[in-house]
């Protein structure tokens, strides 16, 4: 086969935010680009749907941004003329303990706790994320986050808080993840307070009225017609001295000078690399972990929780719901609370039938929101109404995502060759994704930044190749 007959400059594998940002940058630089996407849509882990005709949209994947430390994604929001909704924080939040007790609190994580172990956990993570770890990095990478908390933060409440934290951020238990990975993630997201905050500078400050998937659809519109091929899973990437041949499960073969791979490290093993991935890259494919994250959006005719003085936010170490947020769009007459099922309790819940899953979520939801105690204060919602619509998304059931929100590392991987190899190119292949971002890792901001970095790498390699060819042509003439 004459591979060069159908060659483009760059093939991007994956039409999530990283891949589409890379493709848009490559196209803007004047190079030809082709995007191959396994799913039948663009957006990756962003997915926005209408729960009912005329309603606003709900985000079943990534949803939040801010307008300060997330300059790239906020810049796209302004460029595309998207309307941003400030996350509602008015009212009491609720916290359910393992014994079923529900307390009310104002906001925050850790710093509002009366438990010394939980407070110590918050202070420890904050201190480590603000420090230069240096020689301590290897020691932190040799233990799980659970072991680190057990050694430094007394009490069962601290362990529950650790699992709640890693479940919310990564979809895994504290016993599954490297301590160093947790600390480096917090550092990349400008600190624990910002990472967990719904306020300005926080990770959950703004939502997109049109839905977060709009970022992907608008980026896709920047590409030439036909530049994106959906439902085209990549089966094999062959590298030759001057080109790559990318084979797909549809039987089509495409060629390029460079490839930008925008799929999770946990999906590398779904692709046959020829030649094989270097050992450090293969170690990432074999050892990174994808967590469990599912959403169930409960849509109501009216925001009854606001009338009861509640924010709509709750957290629980009992499960199956790990935490919730108010996700209303008042302009659209849309009133909803989104429930997150994460980590081990989420995995157990996912094994139930569809009917039983809904029953369990509604049971716990009503249990938490019907009564709450905080000292002598009692807030009561006499009868939590039935939702008018329920929208569920289990990312573990998505054949091309398999979980969420991003792959994470167990001990002995980040500080070894795997960590150093994460973003390193392999021949003509460059690697991008939210998990590889240096800033706001795992978030839409990180995805966009990673795509920019991959496009710059590939573009630089193309320019170097063109200069080398020009020099060879000059020598030939001489």
Q: Which two tokens stand for residue 211?
A: 């839905």
Triad 288, 277, 177: Cα angle to 5° = 10
SS3 category, 456? helix
SS3 category, 276? coil
Q: Which residues are annotated as a binding site for substrate?
A: 340
Q: Is the dihedral of CA 241, 242, 248, 252 positive or negative?
A: negative
Task: Tell me how crowded residue 216 is: count the other CB atoms within 10 A of its CB.
Answer: 26
Q: Identify the DSSP state of 149.
A: H
Distance (Å, whole) CA 474 – CA 262: 37
In sequence order, what are the beta bridge partners of 392?
A: 296
In sequence order, what are the beta bridge partners of 426?
A: 429
**Rounded to 5 degrees, what are φ and ψ at 439?**
-125, 130
SS3 category, 15? coil
**Rounded to 5 degrees, what are φ and ψ at 401?**
-110, -50
Distance (Å, whole) CA 127 – CA 109: 15
Residue pointed to by tokens 């109501």: 300
Q: Which residues are annotated as a binding site for FAD?
A: 18, 37-38, 234, 435
Q: Which residues are annotated as a binding site?
A: 18, 37-38, 234, 340, 435
């Amino acid at each position: 086969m004459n591979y060069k007959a159908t060659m483009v400059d760059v093939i991007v594998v994956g039409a999530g935010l990283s891949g589409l940002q890379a493709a848009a940058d490559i196209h803007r630089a004047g190079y030809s680009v082709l995007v191959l996407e396994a799913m039948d849509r663009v957006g990756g882990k962003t997915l926005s749907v209408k729960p009912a005709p005329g309603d606003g949209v709900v985000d079943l994947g990534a949803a939040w941004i801010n307008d300060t430390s997330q300059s790239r994604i906020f810049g796209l929001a302004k460029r595309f003329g998207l309307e941003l909704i400030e996350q509602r924080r008015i009212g009491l939040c609720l916290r359910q303990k393992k014994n079923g007790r529900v307390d009310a609190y104002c906001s925050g994580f850790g710093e509002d706790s009366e438990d010394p172990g939980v407070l110590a956990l918050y202070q420890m993570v904050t201190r480590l994320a603000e420090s230069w770890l240096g020689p301590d990095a290897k020691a932190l990478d040799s233990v799980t986050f659970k072991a680190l908390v057990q050694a430094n933060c007394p009490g069962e409440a601290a362990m529950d808080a650790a699992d709640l934290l890693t479940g919310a951020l990564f979809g895994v238990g504290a016993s599954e993840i490297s301590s160093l990975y947790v600390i480096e993630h917090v550092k990349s997201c400008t600190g624990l307070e910002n990472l967990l905050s719904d306020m300005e500078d926080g990770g959950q400050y703004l939502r997109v009225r049109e839905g977060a998937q709009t970022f992907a659809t608008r980026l896709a519109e920047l590409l030439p017609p036909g530049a994106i091929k959906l439902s085209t899973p990549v089966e094999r990437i062959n590298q030759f001295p001057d080109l790559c041949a990318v084979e797909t499960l549809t039987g089509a073969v495409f060629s390029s000078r460079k490839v930008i791979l925008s799929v999770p490290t946990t999906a590398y093993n779904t692709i046959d690399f020829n030649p094989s991935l270097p050992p450090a890259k293969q170690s990432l494919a074999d050892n990174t972990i994808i967590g469990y994250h599912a959403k169930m959006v409960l849509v109501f005719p009216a925001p009854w929780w606001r009338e009861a003085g509640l924010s709509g936010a709750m957290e629980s170490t009992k499960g199956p719901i790990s935490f919730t947020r108010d996700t209303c769009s008042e302009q659209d007459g849309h009133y909803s609370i989104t429930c997150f099922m994460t980590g081990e309790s989420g995995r157990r819940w996912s094994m139930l039938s569809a009917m039983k899953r809904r029953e369990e979520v509604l049971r716990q939801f009503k249990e938490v929101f019907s009564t709450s105690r905080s000292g002598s204060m009692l807030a009561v919602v006499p009868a939590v109404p039935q939702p008018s619509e329920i929208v569920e998304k289990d990312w573990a059931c998505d054949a091309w995502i398999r979980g969420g929100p991003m792959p994470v590392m167990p001990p002995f991987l980040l500080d070894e060759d795997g960590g150093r190899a994460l973003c390193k190119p392999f021949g003509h292949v460059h690697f991008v994704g939210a998990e590889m971002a240096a800033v706001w890792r795992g978030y839409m901001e990180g995805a966009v930044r990673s795509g920019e970095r991959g496009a710059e790498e590939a573009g630089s390699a193309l320019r170097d190749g063109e200069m080398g060819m020009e020099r060879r042509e000059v020598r030939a003439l001489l």
